[in-house]
Amino acid sequence: MKLIPNAGRVALRAHSMWANYLGVLCLIIPELIYWLFERDTNPRTWWWLGIALILYGVIGRIKDQGIVRSPVAVLIFAVLMSIAPEPPAAQQTGPEVTEAQFVHVATPFVAKWEGKRNKAYRDIGGVWTVCYGETRGVRPGDTYTDAECHAMLQAGLLEYRAGLHGYFNNDTINLRLTPHRDAAYVSLAYNVGIRGAGKSTATRRLNAGDIAGGCQALGWWNKAGGRVVRGLVNRRAEETQLCMQGLA
């Protein structure tokens, strides 16, 4: 392969080459942000930056080659090039899910898997627990009615939902969540913790617009103590099925 005579100058000064360099950074930076800070960024932002760099590269190439010398002609060309279709929008699922819609789906689903004991007991770790896995403020001898346990579960689910939504981007909250998908993700968080669910591949994929991939990744949380647990396999399978509702 033979380089052009002024290859070094082109590599350092050509606008089209700098568009390529910066374009590569647009691919690398969001991954670095995730690995360093465990936070996802909005993919639409990087898409628009990529489009801007393409336009910059094309216009710069025209300018460098002297194909079009008139500033007006370059401006017209840039406008024409900018009329590009938007990337496929995330699946539209309607307005943001309300708390009532969420509770209606999530409460019976999580109650089924958590199980209920009205009288305080020590869990496997020796922690005093009651109702549907509540541990805060529980003391030996505490007893609650079914209605109190139900209300406690709803309050807990809404608290976990609020925490988990802090890890979702706006497109996920406004476009990708249905009551069933919202309930599936919160069920995972209620079982493994908000931080674990929030920084999981399942959440990362959902934020990137890969709804089906995110739902499937829910099923990966099927181990306890380093081994696969049949009960968790079954729970994750139902959460995945719940999450997938409404997808073609």
Q: Which residues are catalytic?
A: 114, 123
Distances (CA, A) of 127 to 118, 133, 194: 15, 10, 19
C-alpha angle with apex 152: 147 to 156, nearest 5 degrees? Answer: 150
Residue 60: closest CA among 84, 44, 81:
81
Residue 53 in contact with residue 19, Cβ under 8 Å? yes
Q: Which residues contact 112 (CB under 8 A, 6 or more apart)?
A: none
Cα distance between the two ends of the chain: 48
**Which residues have CB under 8 Å from 106's CB, separation 6+?**
157, 161, 179, 182, 183, 186, 187
Backbone angles phi, psi at 112, to 5 degrees: -60, -40
Angle at 50 between CA 45 and CA 52, to 5 degrees: 95
- The pair phi, psi for residue 128, each rounded to 5°, is -70, 130
Could you identify the residue written with the tokens 């370059």? 74
